[in-house]
Amino acid sequence: MIMAGVAAFSQAKSGLENYNYMSSGQAYSWMPVAHYQAKKGFYAELRYNYEDVKTVSFYSGKTFYTGKERQISIIPMIGISTGTFTGISAACKAEAEEGLFFFSTEFQYSKDLKNTDGSFMFSWSEAGVSVFEAGFAGLAMQTTFQKGNSIIEPGLVAGFSAGRVTVPLYLFNPFDKGKWFLLGINYEFQIKKKR
């Protein structure tokens, strides 16, 4: 979810994201995500425990850049999930940077193919600033609409980057009894073509 910089299509790149959900009174949850972006913009993502526990999801799409310096990226995607949640999804990610400031958002609609009450809409947005060369802080918001109910969870994010590794820590519902944490350990790398 944290931006690692908007890069041009110079090389293929991949990343491994490792999110750990922690809350008092609820079971620990591990959410790994692997993504790949080809040199010409093809994008693929593999998720586990993201749409629901014990659910594997695959998403595919294409990255588009706007602006002369490619400071905004938009990735429309379609996805399929199987496991506790079995369904199809339409999703879009967008990221922008300007100087020290960053913004990212992700939206998805997921249609449950087994149970109509299981379908949902979900969005995750964050905005922040680089507070020093390797550190950042900002605000986050997670919103879920399901079965006519909406859950809006504001949050705080802070973290640091060291080389290709980014470690974000989120605190959602910070002023509420239902507060919960999400710790990420993310690694980005470029894939060089063999000569």
**Per DSSP, what are the bridge partners of residue 56?**
48, 82
What is the residue range of 49's domain? 14-191
Establish if 91 belongs to a structural domain: yes
pLDDT at 195: 55
Establish if 8 belongs to a structural domain: no
Establish if 3 belongs to a structural domain: no
pLDDT at 141: 98
CATH of the domain at 35: 2.40.160.40
Indicate the number of domains in the chain: 1
Neighbour-count burial of 163, counting CB atoms closer than 10 A to its CB (0-12 exposed, 13-18 middle, 19+ buried): exposed
- Other Cβ atoms less than 10 A from the Cβ of 75: the count is 20
pLDDT at 1: 45
Contact (Cβ atoms closer than 8 angstroms) between residue 16 and residue 34: yes
pLDDT at 9: 46
Q: Which of 26-30, 120-124, 168-172 has the lowest mean pLDDT?
A: 26-30
DSSP E strand stretches across the chain: 12-22, 29-37, 42-48, 55-62, 64-66, 72-83, 87-98, 101-112, 120-132, 135-146, 149-162, 165-172, 180-191
pLDDT at 69: 66
CA gap 148, 150 in Å, rounded: 7
Q: To which residue do tokens 């947005």 refer? A: 125
Establish if 6 belongs to a structural domain: no
CA gap 125, 143 in Å, rounded: 9
Establish if 81 belongs to a structural domain: yes
Establish if 114 belongs to a structural domain: yes
Dump pLDDT digits (tens) for 17-65: 999 998 877 778 999 999 999 989 999 999 999 999 999 999 999 999 8
Residue 3 confidence class, pLDDT cut points 50, 70, 90:
very low
pLDDT at 11: 64
Establish if 130 belongs to a structural domain: yes
Both structure tokens of 135: 């550190």
Establish if 109 belongs to a structural domain: yes
